[in-house]
Structure formats: C-alpha cells, structure tokens
Structure 1
Amino acid sequence: MEMLDWMKQAKTLAEDPVSGFDPNAVTESVTVEINAPARIVWDILCDMPRYNEWNPFCVKAVSDLQIGSPVEMRLMNYASPGSIVPNLEYVCAVEKERMVSWEMHHTDAWPYPARRDQVITPTGPNSCRYYSTDAFLGNNGIHVYNFAGPWVKRGFDDSAYALKARAEEFFAAES
C-alpha cells in the first residue's frame, strides 16, 4: 500500500528529531473492503457522539472536526485490559469522504508526537476501502511504536471491522 502524501513529504528524523518521520514507526490497520458507499463510511466516522455504539477501541470521541480543533477520546487500553485511557489530539486534515486525520503535538510534558490518518478510498458507487495508520514521530517514535504498536494495531483492526459492519448495516437499511 502506498504511503500517504504527507508521509512522503515529511522530514526525516535526521532533519527533525522532534517530529521527523520514521517509516519503521508506523502502525497500519487491516484494510477492509466495505460494501457501502464512501459517504456512509464518512458519515459514521464524523458522527463522533455515536462512536460508543459501534467502535470497540474508541468508546468516546468529541470534536467538531475543524482543522486545529481538539479530538477528545476515551480509548480501550489493550495493554491493560478493562481500563480506559483519555487521549487528546488535534484535527490536522479533513478531506470529505476520503480522509480525516488528527495528531498529538510534541510538548515538554508529552514528548511523543504522532499522527493518525483514517483513509477511505471509493472503489465503486456502492463500495469503498478503509484503513488507518498511526505514525509515531520523532526520536521517541520508534520506542512508542515498539511499546504501543501491537495494541494500537489491534484497536485499529477492531475499529476497521466494526466500521465495515456498521456501514454495511446502514447501507442495507437504506436500500
């Protein structure tokens, strides 16, 4: 699968050790083929108040999805089953029916920048493909990837399968 454009253009770690990109520090979900139009998948992803109805990983999400706006989330912590962790990121890209992205900025208190992209690719009038990535950035990125990558991937995979099921259910009800 081809890297997203921002990844191709990102500064390398040698150029920017704080937020530079390391292709070895990226978690990617499974890619799911969805038998529903991209617009339905998009609507589900943007309906954050209803995430708890379908998303087993991100059980709460609050945002207006405007560039720069916060995305306040509650995530299942697969590293510590049964616990939920708060997560705060900021919207950095929105391309209707194609991609929504948010990022965690580097700060002195939290030196672990990252960027999540959720990508929808139409494959026909009533079908599309979905996957998501999380790029752990900067010098600490590979360490975060090694620690959190496996459970983040599990969460992203669970979310992808759940999104597929919800979108196909909505499309069937619409037809």
Structure 2
Amino acid sequence: MSPHDEADPAYDVAASGAGTHARDELAGSARGWLRVQLAVVGFIGLCGALWTTGGPAGPAWLQWLAAALAVLAFALGGSAIFLVARVAYPVRETAPASALGDGAQSRTWGRLRGGTRLSFLALLLVVAATLTAWWPDTSGGGAIEVRDVGGQAWCGRLGDAPAGAVRVNTADGPATIPLDRVAALREVDSC
C-alpha cells in the first residue's frame, strides 16, 4: 500500500487539501486564459468576416500566403483552446490530489504554457495575414481625364506632348491641350 493511498489510516488530509488548492488555482488560471483564447479565435473569425469585398490587394502569391496564415492561425487557436480547456475543466481524475506526483503537475503546467504560447502564435499569424490587405493598390486604371476652361473633357492615357501642353490618347485619337487651357486633370478608373 502506498503512503498516499486513501485506505491508509496515515493518509495526510492536509496534503490532500494543499494539492486540491494548487490544482484549483491552476484550473482557475486556465479558465482565465481560455477566455483570452476564445477572444483570439473570435478575432480571427472577425478578421475573416471583415475581409474587404473589393478587388484583392496584392499579387496572387500574397493572397495565398494570407489565406494559409489565417487557416494556420485558426488551427493553432483551436489547438490552444483544447490544451488549456483540458487544464481548466479536467474530465476525470484517477487519483486524489495528494497522489498526483510532480510529473502530473508539471504536465498540467506544460499544457497551460503550451496553450498560451500557441495562442500568442495564432494571434501573430492572423495579424500577419491581415497586414497583407494593406498591400499598395497599383492596379489603378491609369486613365486621365482632362477638362479645359470651356468645359470640354478628354479621357485616355497620357502621351508625349510638346512643352506647355498635355497630350491625351483617347479612343477617338490623340488630343493635345495647351496647359493654359487646362482647368482640371484627374486620374479615373476608366473612360
């Protein structure tokens, strides 16, 4: 019979209470981290829901990288929740708290530490995936609209012009407008 067996009359009740207190304290800490982890996974989902509906930003490889980072972040967040939930809400106990050795206690702490580290890693990955949306948009139409002082407008791409003039290559052919007649010049998506 082991010295920590419940059937043993020498069973130390004080040690049992201390072990239970330590386990409860660890579980309480894990429950707090579990809330944080759920918020992280919710943030990952929110970032996916708020993804811009406009045209994609950046090259295709960057979009695939962002998608892979987001999926990996979600998987790591789920794994982190699983690890910490095992500490926060243990399913079964096979031995009294005093009978749990230092090995079991250190494994429990290891799960909690591993889960929190995975949470931070998931958060970093989703931030990196979100940052790809800030890729500069260079897909501008390149079209220019030129209005003269009389209200007439030309739309097209800029071309080479003599000094003191603007040349616009329109669908109807090139148009050269003297700079002293230009009232407005602006970039547009298309003509």
Same fold (TM over 0.5): no
Greater share of helix residues, 1 or 2? 2
Greater C-alpha Rg: 2
TM-score (norm 1): 0.30
Give the TM-score taking structure 2 as reference length.
0.28
Q: Which has the higher contact order (CA 8 A, sep 6+)?
A: 1
